[in-house]
Structure 1
Amino acid sequence: MADDAIMQPTRDPRATLPDLIEVLLNKGVYLNLDLIISVSDIPLIGINLRATIAGIETMLEYGMMRQWDEDTRKWVQQSVRAHLPLAEDEEILAKMAGGHYQDNFYRTWRPGTAYLTSQRLIIHRRDPAETLWQAKLSSIESITPLSEPSIGGEERIRILVRLDDGSESKLSALEPERLIRLVQEQRGTALQPSTGRVSSSSPQPLKQGRMWYRETLSGGGTWRGGEAVLTGRDLTWKSPMDSRALVRVSASQVRKLRWEKHDNPTNKARILFVETEQSSIRLAADDIDDWCDELEQWSASERHDLAATGSGEKNDEGESWH
């Protein structure tokens, strides 16, 4: 028989078990079988089998198991309401282990459970019952991933939430990027890249990296290591121990940039002195020259914009010290 006349399988016979499971879950399979079990050619047992096997999402998509889905959701809502107060029309969309970073006289992580509802983002502890942190979705200005080293030195992804009143909170979650994506979808915002530090509602960083900041104390001063982020809106600096930026300066606040010889933790002999309307900032970095060039362009661009619009008003909103 000619080779082209040989019957060939229409599907790849090298399909693996994961391929089969993927097809089974995504597309599903419908079985309508009549089985007969025989012993010594004597039929003993007959089985008439009708079954549908597929993933839950596929089942719901084709209109199956909807009553089970509704009953399960209702049971979850009732069990959660026993310890977490919810509004009558509030529905839980996601739940995972999480925590809130307390930043007052005692700084520590408080573990609990993160709940995303149709109205709020909540960090709640069940025993003893306490809502550690909550915010309405409508009040969230931005929610972004924040990479920071843990006590052991391992990089971990935290969640930085900025509200419309200017306050910031740091949260943790078992699946931080998934929770951020769900919050953004619920708010109707565009998805952000998983490697980014800012959401679509925040400016894209012009430059960011390791930076030393000289903090002035009553007995003198000390250098603190942290990360600086420069955006089109402001320059911020925070250390891994801070829950929010310790330094925040807008471009309109910068009055002068100059070099200053000063001992610092880097291999550079000079530091960058940033003079603002209300105070001064001393910064040091291994790439401080690049930072200076970027800051000069940043502040010059702001002055150019003000001159173009003919605005001579000063904006006192950009600078904050905590």
Structure 2
Amino acid sequence: LLTEGVYHGWRPGTVYLTDQRLVVLRKEPREVLWEADLDTVRDVRLAPERTVGGEERLRLEVSLADGRRELLSAGEPETLYDLLDRVRAGRLAPALLSGAVPEEEPAIAEGHLWYEEPRRSGPLWRGGQARLTAGRLTWKSPVDARPALVLPLTDLAGVRRVPGYGPGGEGSVLVLRTTTGEEIRLAADDPDRWARRLTATSPAAAHA
């Protein structure tokens, strides 16, 4: 990703393309360097550029609805260009949406939550969008094609706040206990609101 301003130069990251957005993510330290909803992308083209060493490289130029133009560098720019073009045209939508959770139910609550995602190397807090309906709680990161967490509310046995510091500050962590004994950890800027909503929509959690 080429950045302008006080710092001018290429910032290394990984490009992710989902059915809804284009994201550049840095691994260490973990940070979203840039992202754009696909419905704001007005044009994409391959732009040749001569490097400092004299080599010509193809860059991906993305024009946005607000007039901005972003320049991306990729190992296989033609492949990324083709995928982006096909996704915007809708030709890859069925494949990308395969296995996604339908969201036909009206939302009771939506907003930003952190999810402590289990990893082989240890759990990792990730920020994303949560959606609570009468039947389920889902959580999805902006770089994921489908939700990483899908919890039917019939499987929710209890909700409690735990002391200590979380991504949302002191006392921001919620522990959701399932009927199988599993514990799911979430963090919120407004944990009381989410705890009330979850408890109200789950009979088992309300009587826990």
Per the normalisation by structure 2, the TM-score is 0.52
Sort the Cα spacing of 1:113 and 1:242 in 2 relative to 1 into closer, same or farther, 3 A. closer
- How far residue 134 of structure 1 moved from its aligned partner, in angstroms, is 4.3
Match of 2:14 in 1: none
* Residue in structure 2 matching 1:111, options 76, 79, 84: 84
Partners in 1 of 2:113 and 2:88 — Cα distance? 35
- How far residue 286 of structure 1 moved from its aligned partner, in angstroms, is 0.7
- How far residue 133 of structure 1 moved from its aligned partner, in angstroms, is 5.2
CA-to-partner distance for each residue in 1:218-263, whole Å, 9 max, x for gaps? 3332211111100112000011111100000011000111221233
CA-to-partner distance for each residue in 1:84-107, whole Å, 9 max, x for gaps? xxxxxxxxxxxx989xxxxxxxxx
Match of 1:219 in 2: 121
- How far residue 280 of structure 1 moved from its aligned partner, in angstroms, is 1.5
- How far residue 302 of structure 1 moved from its aligned partner, in angstroms, is 9.1
Sort the Cα spacing of 1:302 and 1:261 in 2 relative to 1 into closer, same or farther, 3 A. closer
Partners in 2 of 1:271 and 1:292 — Cα distance? 10
Match of 1:258 in 2: 160
Match of 2:100 in 1: 168
Counterpart amino acid of 2:147? A
Question: Does the 8 A contact of 2:128 with 2:140 survive in 1?
Answer: yes
* Residue in structure 1 matching 2:192, options 280, 289, 306: 289
Sort the Cα spacing of 1:276 and 1:302 in 2 relative to 1 into closer, same or farther, 3 A. closer
Q: Show structure 1 runs of 5+ residues with no match.
A: 1-95, 99-107, 117-121, 124-131, 136-159, 170-196, 305-322
Per the normalisation by structure 1, the TM-score is 0.35
Secondary structure of residue in 2 paired with 1:168: coil
Secondary structure of residue in 2 paired with 1:112: helix
Larger helix fraction of residues: 1
Secondary structure of residue in 1 paired with 2:85: strand
CA-to-partner distance for each residue in 1:61-106, whole Å, 9 max, x for gaps? xxxxxxxxxxxxxxxxxxxxxxxxxxxxxxxxxxx989xxxxxxxx
Partners in 1 of 2:179 and 2:144 — Cα distance? 24
Are positions 1:235 and 2:208 aligned together? no
Sort the Cα spacing of 1:134 and 1:204 in 2 relative to 1 into closer, same or farther, 3 A. closer
- How far residue 277 of structure 1 moved from its aligned partner, in angstroms, is 3.0
How many residue pairs match? The answer is 129
Are positions 1:203 and 2:135 aligned together? no
Counterpart amino acid of 1:294? R
Partners in 1 of 2:140 and 2:88 — Cα distance? 28
Question: Does the 8 A contact of 1:97 with 1:112 survive in 2?
Answer: no
Match of 1:298 in 2: 201
Question: Does the 8 A contact of 1:208 with 1:229 survive in 2?
Answer: yes
* Residue in structure 2 matching 1:277, options 176, 179, 182: 179
Secondary structure of residue in 1 paired with 2:84: strand
Secondary structure of residue in 1 paired with 2:198: helix
Partners in 2 of 1:205 and 1:253 — Cα distance? 18
Secondary structure of residue in 1 paired with 2:145: coil
Question: Does the 8 A contact of 2:161 with 2:171 survive in 1?
Answer: no
Q: Show structure 2 runs of 5+ residues with no match.
A: 1-41, 45-79
CA RMSD of aligned residues (A): 3.5
Partners in 2 of 1:115 and 1:267 — Cα distance? 38
Partners in 2 of 1:301 and 1:254 — Cα distance? 7
- How far residue 301 of structure 1 moved from its aligned partner, in angstroms, is 8.2
Sort the Cα spacing of 1:263 and 1:203 in 2 relative to 1 into closer, same or farther, 3 A. same
- How far residue 294 of structure 1 moved from its aligned partner, in angstroms, is 0.4
Question: Does the 8 A contact of 1:268 with 1:286 survive in 2?
Answer: no
Sort the Cα spacing of 1:282 and 1:301 in 2 relative to 1 into closer, same or farther, 3 A. closer
